[in-house]
Each structure stands twice: as C-alpha cells, then as structure tokens.
Amino acid sequence: MIRKIVKDNERLMKKAVEATKEDLYVIEDMVDTAKANEEICVGLAANQIGETARIIVVKMGEYFIPLVNPKIVKHSQATYEVEEACLSHEGTRKTTRYASIEVEYRDKNFRKKKQNFTGFVAQVIQHEMDHCEGILI
C-alpha cells in the first residue's frame, strides 16, 4: 500500500525503536511508497511513512532493498560534503558522509547480514539511518 510521506518535523525527529519480526509487515508499504515516488526517491525510512520501527529501504540497482535495524560497524576515514534532498522537506541541505561503510542489519526475513557499501548507495544508507536517529538532513 502506498502511504503518505510524513513532513511533520516533530514526528520525524523522534528516534526509531528497534524493529522486531512483527514490524516486517511495513516493508511492503515502504517499497510500494518508494516505488510510487521513484522519480525522486532513492531511499525511505519507516518514520517517513508514520512508523516507529528502525527499518530503511534503499534503491540498489532496480530494486528497493530493506535493511532492518541497520548499524554502521566500520567506516572509512575519508569523508565528503554533499547536498542532499529529502522526500520529507523542500530543497537541499549540506551534510558530510563517509565514503564507505560496513553495515550490520537484518534482511526482509530477519536474517543477520553484514555488507560493505560505497559511493551513492552508502550515502543513501547514511541519510536514511539519520532518519532513524531523528536527524533531519
């Protein structure tokens, strides 16, 4: 189901809670909502559709891939400054991102995973993880 994008900063600034298997139902709505906004959407956090679980979806290739309870366990020393847009607000904002990250997370079946990400995908993951922390970019 396609959901409305939350634009209320007060709601978006609340930290997400750790997701459980019972929260996995929201992934389908997140992917549907991301696909409905695909011309301007490369990632989405659950709080952007009104959910409190720590779940993000990130466009990797043709697909939006869910990362449940993502946690950066390593990152590069190298950083870069970039301007990012967001579905939840107008315009762009400057931020600093790591060039590469290693992320532990659970997949859509709640299996543990660990993966390295670089470039634009790493940037999107960091942006969506900021949403989980209540940080608005």
Catalytic residues: 128
Q: What is the pTM of this model?
A: 0.97
Amino acid at 102: E
Q: Report pLDDT digits (tens) over 70-114.
A: 999 999 999 999 999 999 999 999 999 999 999 999 999 999 999
Count of the separate structural domains present in the chain: 1
CB 83 within 8 A of CB 70: no
3-state helix, strand, coil in the chain (%, to 5): 25, 40, 35
CB 97 within 8 A of CB 80: yes
> What is the Cα 18 distance to its own chain's centre?
14
Task: Answer whether residue 23 is part of any domain.
Answer: yes
Which residue range is the domain that position 115 belongs to? 9-132
CATH of the domain at 106: 3.90.45.10
In the predicted model, what is the mean pLDDT of the chain?
97
pLDDT of 134 above 90: yes
Token representation of residue 130: 């900021």
**Residues belonging to the chain:** 137
CB 17 within 8 A of CB 52: yes
Token representation of residue 24: 């996995």
CB 108 within 8 A of CB 27: yes
Task: Answer whether residue 1 is part of any domain.
Answer: no
Task: Answer whether residue 137 is part of any domain.
Answer: no
Task: Answer whether residue 31 is part of any domain.
Answer: yes
Look up tokens 């190298």; give the residue: 78
CA triple 120-68-53, angle to 5 deg: 110
